[in-house]
Amino acid sequence: MTTMNCSIAIIQAIHTFVNAADTRNTSVLAAVMHDAYQNIQDGFFEQKGIFIFSKTRYIELIETKRFGGSPRTIKIESIDERGNIAIAKVILESELLCFSSNITLVNENSEWKVLYNVPNIRKKS
């Protein structure tokens, strides 16, 4: 696969990941997430501190409507692709929130999966 094709596949995986969370489509979301997925964020709503969510917990947060459900625009600022690992800097905006995320993907069996999502979340003013 050429670098251009890989980049397109990475972009598609990012869009699939975000759109599945936004629409709370947990079967699509689970398919694009690596089994070792982790969401790492500073703060959880009004709680302070570092929070790390596994794939199972993240999907549970989507299912219980604590996360997801609001459409967001997606702006990919950069993708640093190094073989089978890619790190994307992505800006996501919903009506109320802005997410500045670093999303790490890995290519296993010719398929890009989201391994880590490290969002910085702020309320829009």
pLDDT band at residue 41 under the 50/70/90 scheme: very high
Question: Tens digits of per-residue pLDDT, 56-70?
Answer: 999 999 999 989 999
Residues in Cβ contact with 17 at an 8 Å cutoff, skipping those fewer than 6 apart:
29, 32, 33, 103, 114, 117
Instruction: Print the domain residue range for 22.
Output: 3-123
Mean pLDDT, to the nearest integer, of 2-7? 55
Rounded average pLDDT over 3-18 = 85
Q: How far is CA 29 from CA 34, 49, 85, in A?
A: 10, 26, 19
pLDDT beyond 50 at 6: yes
Work out how many domains the chain is built from and give that number: 1
* 3-state class (DSSP) for residue 64: coil
SS3 18: helix
Mean pLDDT of 13-22: 97
Its pTM surpasses 0.85 = yes
- Provide the CATH number for the domain around residue 78: 3.10.450.50
